[in-house]
Amino acid sequence: MDEPDSKRSRGFSQVLKHHCQFVRTSDFFFSDYIGKGPFDWRSYDNFDEIDDRMNSINMQNCHAKPAEELHLPRETLAQLPRFNKLLSTIIYPNRTDLLHLHNMALNRAFFYSYMYQKLNDTEDFMKQPGLMYYMFSAAADVSANEYNINGSAIMFDNNCSYANWYDNLPFNKTLPLFGPRAWRFDDFNDPTNWLREPTNETIDIVDYGAGSQSNYSHKSYKINEWYDLWLPDGEEQSASDSVYKNSYDVGIKYSNETGKFESDEYVSKTFFGPPSPGQKEKEILPVVFTEPYFDCGRSNKWIVSAVAPVVDQLPRYLEWFHLRRFRCSSVLDVFRSFLPIFTFHCCLQIQCCFTSGLSHPRCRTSISCPSTSTSVHSALETKLRTTSLELPSANQRPW
């Protein structure tokens, strides 16, 4: 090789060496910024902890998880409606679903309590609710509330349900457990659902008390907080009957034909129902909310329940009336999905936060909640936008 070629080679080597050194320096320079993003300034907080706990449970592993991991802290639910504060408390738009859940549970608890005590005679035994009535009533609660309620159930205590639909069961005998429960079923994979989209028109109804492994009153049942809130109501709890049960007097006009009553006078009936607390009472309320829990093996969703007691006079059809006692024979459980309640953060504040009880909620000065552009809500939407609020999506799904 002649000398010009060798100089040219040395020059190329120096350029290549300098280029490689620059690339290495550039790689080192950019390596300090790998993984950086616009949200890295947010540290791991309680919201992330709850979110990780929710994502760690699914329908495949929930059966093997302990009960503590199937429940979330009670602080994740905030602004819960209270019976004795409904007329003096502002209910924000993002808490109207909880209010409706509260009112539905209380409504059905009053209805069943009145009906059991009204038809608590031997001649009215066959007029009492039957098997299909319980199931269709639970299904009606779900179908009538498409975007508010995901499930409804009435869960009886041990030997408190009188099965008038079993002809071979001796009179005045009870079932060990009976718990008809209806919930909205995700029918996206049904053969008749060609679009493979949930229709919200399929309801699954199951008796929780049927079967040898379905004792929801046992302590080993991991997700039965709705049972422990009011049941069992045995003789040990009789000393507090005056606190947990309240007497009500109602007058009803009966009619067997349209536009005409059997009598112009109201037929009065006194019955016992859920408690009626004073204005300052905080513990003994007619409707109590459970901790958010994973509905393992059923809907397989994180749900929250509103639970109210159903009062009956037991034991029924006993000749010695003084031995009968008004007791909580069952609980009315109405539930919905927890995720929309937890993450829907539109609120009437300058800084809208996740409305949960977390000690360090994530806040920001502006929000981007899904809006509704229908003409019906246009005026309300404009008003809400002036206060940094937007309406929830009208096309939202119940789950």
Tokens linked to 239: 């000393």
pLDDT tens sequence across 258-285: 889 998 899 999 999 999 998 888 889 9
Lowest-confidence pick of 77-86, 124-133, 182-191, 345-354: 345-354
Q: Which residues contact 323 (CB under 8 A, 6 or more apart)?
A: 315
Q: Judging by beta carbons within 10 Å of its beta carbon (0-12, 13-18, 19+), is residue 278 exposed, middle or buried?
A: exposed
Measured CA to CA, the distance from residue 387 to residue 381 in angstroms comes to 10
Domain boundaries, the chain: 46-255+263-343
In this predicted structure, what is the pLDDT of residue 212? 77
Measured CA to CA, the distance from residue 304 to residue 98 in angstroms comes to 9
Lowest-confidence pick of 14-18, 100-104, 154-158, 306-310: 14-18
Q: Is residue 156 within a helix (H) or strand (E), and if so which, with residue range?
A: strand 151-156
Q: Is residue 312 within a helix (H) or strand (E), and if so which, with residue range?
A: strand 302-314
Region of 211 on the Ramachandran plot (φ > 0 left; ψ -120 to 50 alpha; else beta): left
Q: Minimal CA–CA distance to 99: which of 285, 227, 289? A: 289
pLDDT tens sequence across 78-111: 888 999 988 888 888 778 889 999 999 999 999 9
The C-alpha angle 269, 274, 275, rounded to 5 degrees, equals 110
Q: Minimal CA–CA distance to 54: which of 352, 307, 333, 340? A: 340
Measured CA to CA, the distance from residue 107 to residue 105 in angstroms comes to 6
pLDDT at 240 over 50: yes
Q: pLDDT over 90 for what percent of the chain?
A: 35
In this predicted structure, what is the pLDDT of residue 142? 92
pLDDT at 24 over 50: no
Render 48-67 in DSSP notation, one character per residue.
HHHHHHHHT--TTTGGGS-G
162 close to 312: Cβ distance less than 8 angstroms: no
Lowest-confidence pick of 18-22, 56-60, 99-103, 207-211: 18-22
How far out from the chain centre does Cα 149 lie?
A: 8
pLDDT at 398 over 80: no
